[in-house]
Amino acid sequence: MRYLLAFAMCFLCALTSALPAAAFEVISVPEDVNAINLRAGVDVFPGENGRIQLSTAPSEDGIIRRIEVLASEDGTNPKWALFALRNDTDVQLERLLVAPFFRLPGSGVIAPDLGAERVSVITVSQGLRPERTSDAEADVFGITLDPGATVTFIAELSEGSLPELYLWKPDAYRDYVNSFTLFRGTVLGVASLAALFLTIMFVVKGRGVFPATAAFAWAVLIYLLIDFGIMGRLLGIGNGSMQPFRAAAEAGLATTLFGFLFIYLNLHRWHLRFVHLAMALAGVFLILFGVAFFQPAIAATIARVVLVLLGLTGLFLVVLLALRGYDRAVLLVPTWIIYLAWLFYGWMVVTGQVSNDIAQPAVAGGLMLIVMLIGFTAVQHAFSEGQVSVGTLSEVERRAMALTGSGDFVFDWNIDRDRVNVSEELSQRLGERRGALRGAIKRWLDRIHPEDRDKFRAALDTLVEMRRGKVNTDVRIANQDGSHRWFRMRVKPVLGGDGQVTRIVGTLQDISDERAARERLLHDSVTDSLTGLPNKELFLDRLDRALVRSRTNGGSKPAVFLIDIDKFAELNERVGLTASDSVLLAASRRIARVLRPLDTVSRINSDQFAVILSAEHGVGKIAEVAEQIRKALRAPFNFGDRDLTMTVSIGITIFDNSSATALDVLRDAELAMYYAKRHGGDRIEAYRASARSITAYSRATEEDLARALRQGELQVEFQPIMDIHTNQIAGAEALMRWNHATRGSVSPDEFIPLAERTGHITKIGRLAFEQAANQAESWRRAFPLSDEFFVSVNLSPRQLATENMLSDMKSLVSQHMQVIKHLKLEVTESQVMSNPEHAAYVLQSLKSMGLRLALDDFGTGYSSLSYLHRFPFDTVKIPAPFVQISEQAGLAHTQVPIMRAVISLAAELSMMVIAEGAETDDEVERLRHLNCRHAQGFAFGAAMTGDEFRRRLASQFT
């Protein structure tokens, strides 16, 4: 029996040691305190199999009871909150236990507590069972404490946590709830009005800033409805289901605030990347709304972090743009400072540093203040930019706005008071102080240009006398510095009741830029844009006047020079267009220095100058002036580190008082110039009748070239390019030939420069490419050509410089795709080096089309070995002067090492080398000894037709 009692005692001790002991603090409830925060005296314990066993706090007689409480629902195992209250008074106390569903203070930033139902049931150790009282924002239970009683409360928790628990006097709690009702109603009313007003502004004006601001206002309104517990009642949702909506509301605040900041500051205008960033963040925010309904705590955490990041980023952008003078950013500075203050206070609240009763309402009120400031900022900016208008405009207002928009200045002369009033902007335009242009009409006459005063006075007097009509005239008005600006004055009279003119009203439009542009056009129409000399039209006009003067008694007879630069096309190709323009400009100045003030020099063509010599009468003096011009132009032109020398051909004609026109006299000088060119150039020739056949021949050649293109007289011939190691044909160079109907074969040296001057070179180049491609296609079909076989086609300098060259080549390449790998384009070294950057771009584009490229005349114009790596050439052609060296010439010991270096360099760069102009067996043998594999020249045959070349290929393959 003794052992059985010992075992029972041990079991009882073990059982009681597992139960919660009465270690929790007993809280004394005073009679005169309205509310007590019980959270510090509450202990939370987990249940065990849906129940909890505990020892109660000692009652007034010191008895500790052990009780067991079961969960209100079977199959659940909730947590339990335990606390004890003692009534030390001698009266019965009625109190309310209040557990708020949501409290912003102390909710936290990371995984915040978004609210929920807190207490399901409360069980007491003695006395009456607590009764639940209906409340929209908290679990409220009414309790009764007897005098001197100590009661232990066991609260079954709904969500496992109890952040706040208060003990209120019933009347005090009702007063507390009612005290915030007015505040909440006011805040919600203001928020609703702000959202509606901004929405209406958006509907009326449609400006982007208004929908962004309105969206933020609506987001704040929805947040407040949820925070005040109204949204749940409107939707019929219990407090346990409001967590996703609260998280979505906070995400809405972050989203709409970001949208407002982006649109209001026009960040999309500053950089395209801002647009991409905004689109990415918009996608993230949309995802955030979805996350709010699955993981509300995560969504709320992200939203609160984003609000902080927006505050810091917005501060940086606002300050940066404000310092740059951006008006919108300046207007947003006060609002953003308040927003940062609201963020700091909100952080103190959610972290629990501020947890009084007004903390949460203060956050809501601050949010409403931010909405109002943002709305005021948007409206203020809209009004400041004239984006908002209220009501309809009258006709007078509409005309005033139209006048303001036109930029014209108002002119108003009150005749009765003799006072002129003008727009203040006109004073600023003329550099005067405000009001300086107001006063009597006489003061205005003093400001009008002396040449325009009579016109100005007559116009106004006519309006006053006729009492009708209007004036539209241009006058010059003096600036403050004495210069003048052009204004177009449009005015009309205003009649009084007696039918007399009382005032003259109109506008002044500043047309100074228009007049300057007109004068520039007039100047450009009669002068050369490069040299500033008179052009051909002005020259002929001055020559015609000189001829008229010479026909009067005693008038001097003018002499006319036509000066043409010899071989200017070759100079253009050698030094480039920019350098050629510099040479022309220097030549014009040298000619002008030789002449006297009464003489005239004009540029009438690209490389031709004409002179009217009026100051000299003797034939000897005229010839002397011409010789001075020739010598002046023969002097070297310094261009960088090079000296350029050129010669000119000068034709002279002296007017003989005949009935010839100015154009006839100029043509006679042109005939003399062509005669000088026929005899080698660099000479002076006077006009003679036999020279007419020369210019007629020249014009006929231009007409014949156009006809030859239409009738197919231009045909490509092919010169073989040999592999001198195997004596096999490796390719061919396509050379354009002109078989004239009457003159027979015309040399390329004659018609190629002509084609460049007349603009036909592009057509000839396209024709050469098409004929070469067609022949290559026919040979490819007839013979098993290797991939290394090629046909070279030359590009002229004008072709390479034209803008549509690449588009033309793309079209030709698309038509001949089968033989593109067999086609090679040749350009000269001087063409490439005249504009290396442009040439590199064009050549790279041609290379990307599949064409091969060859550099012709390598080493003749520039020592450009260092440039080879910049251009995508696969072939280098050694010019004939390097190949055609005899031992007697004494140059073999210098030219041969140069060729060896070029061949070695090309081999290092994996480039093909072709030697041009090989005419003898010795030259071929020298090339073979230098390890040059390919050559062309008369040693292998002259250029031949496509059929003849086809027979050469046939004999090689058979």
Q: What is the pLDDT of residues 654-673, one digit of tens each?
A: 887 677 788 888 888 888 88
**pLDDT band with cut points at 50, 70 and 90 for residue 270:** low
Owner of token pair 């219990």: 238
Lowest mean pLDDT among 173-177, 182-186, 825-829: 182-186
Distances (CA, A) of 73 to 50, 108, 183, 415: 8, 31, 40, 101
503 has a pLDDT exceeding 50: yes
**pLDDT band with cut points at 50, 70 and 90 for residue 30:** confident
Contact between 862 and 881 (Cβ < 8 Å):
no
**pLDDT band with cut points at 50, 70 and 90 for residue 5:** very low
Distances (CA, A) of 646 to 65, 165, 420, 592, 671: 127, 106, 66, 18, 21
Three-state DSSP state, 528: coil
156 has a pLDDT exceeding 80: yes
CA–CA gap between residue 235 and residue 223 (Å, rounded): 14
CA–CA gap between residue 514 and residue 697 (Å, rounded): 47
More confident residue, 943 or 389: 943
Q: What percent of the chain has pLDDT over 90?
A: 4
For 622-635, the pLDDT digits (tens) are: 888 888 888 888 88
405 has a pLDDT exceeding 70: no
The confidence score (pLDDT) of residue 234 equals 78
32 has a pLDDT exceeding 80: yes
The confidence score (pLDDT) of residue 394 equals 54
CA–CA gap between residue 16 and residue 55 (Å, rounded): 8
Contact between 495 and 467 (Cβ < 8 Å):
yes
More confident residue, 586 or 242: 586
**pLDDT band with cut points at 50, 70 and 90 for residue 733:** very high
The confidence score (pLDDT) of residue 718 equals 92
Exposed (0-12), middle (13-18) or buried (19+): which is 955, by Cβ within 10 Å? Answer: exposed
**pLDDT band with cut points at 50, 70 and 90 for residue 619:** confident
User: Which residues are registered as beta bridge partners of 93?
Assistant: 145
Sorted by sequence, the CB contacts under 8 Å of residue 456 that are 6+ apart come out as: 445, 448, 473, 475, 489
720 has a pLDDT exceeding 90: yes
Q: What DSSP letter does each residue of 579-614 carry, written as one string?
A: HHHHHHHHHHHHHHHHS-TT-EEEEEETTEEEEEE-
Per-residue HEC secondary structure of 294-324 comes to: CCHHHHHHHHHHHHHHHHHHHHHHHHHHHHC
Which token pair is 455? 């016109």
Distances (CA, A) of 162 to 28, 47, 92, 102, 743: 20, 15, 27, 10, 114
CA–CA gap between residue 58 and residue 612 (Å, rounded): 133
CA–CA gap between residue 116 and residue 139 (Å, rounded): 10
For 246-267, the pLDDT digits (tens) are: 888 888 888 888 888 777 777 7
**pLDDT band with cut points at 50, 70 and 90 for residue 598:** confident
107 has a pLDDT exceeding 80: no
The confidence score (pLDDT) of residue 383 equals 63
The confidence score (pLDDT) of residue 829 equals 73
Nearest to 731 by CA among 921, 876, 924, 934: 934
The confidence score (pLDDT) of residue 732 equals 93
CA–CA gap between residue 553 and residue 266 (Å, rounded): 78
Nearest to 830 by CA among 853, 804, 855: 855
Contact between 935 and 722 (Cβ < 8 Å):
yes
The confidence score (pLDDT) of residue 187 equals 80
Lowest mean pLDDT among 43-47, 216-220, 794-798, 943-947: 794-798
The confidence score (pLDDT) of residue 274 equals 64
804 has a pLDDT exceeding 70: yes
Q: Where are the beta strands (DSSP E) in 754-910?
A: 790-794, 823-828, 852-856, 875-878
Summarize the confidence of residues 891-911 as an average pLDDT. Answer: 76
The confidence score (pLDDT) of residue 894 equals 63
Owner of token pair 């006679």: 668
514 has a pLDDT exceeding 50: yes
The confidence score (pLDDT) of residue 716 equals 92
Nearest to 542 by CA among 605, 603, 606, 599: 599
Summarize the confidence of residues 840-847 as an average pLDDT. Answer: 85
For 448-471, the pLDDT digits (tens) are: 888 888 888 888 888 888 888 888
CA–CA gap between residue 557 and residue 546 (Å, rounded): 8
Q: What percent of the chain has pLDDT over 70?
A: 87
Contact between 194 and 372 (Cβ < 8 Å):
yes
Lowest mean pLDDT among 498-512, 683-697, 725-739: 683-697
Owner of token pair 């114009």: 861
Summarize the confidence of residues 56-68 as an average pLDDT. Answer: 79
3 has a pLDDT exceeding 50: no
* 662: enclosing H helix or E strand: helix 662-678
Exposed (0-12), middle (13-18) or buried (19+): which is 429, by Cβ within 10 Å? Answer: middle
Contact between 41 and 83 (Cβ < 8 Å):
yes
* Residues in the chain, total: 958
Buried/exposed 598-636: b ≥16 CB within 10 Å, e otherwise: ebbbbbbeebbbbbbbbebeeeeebeebbeebbeebeee
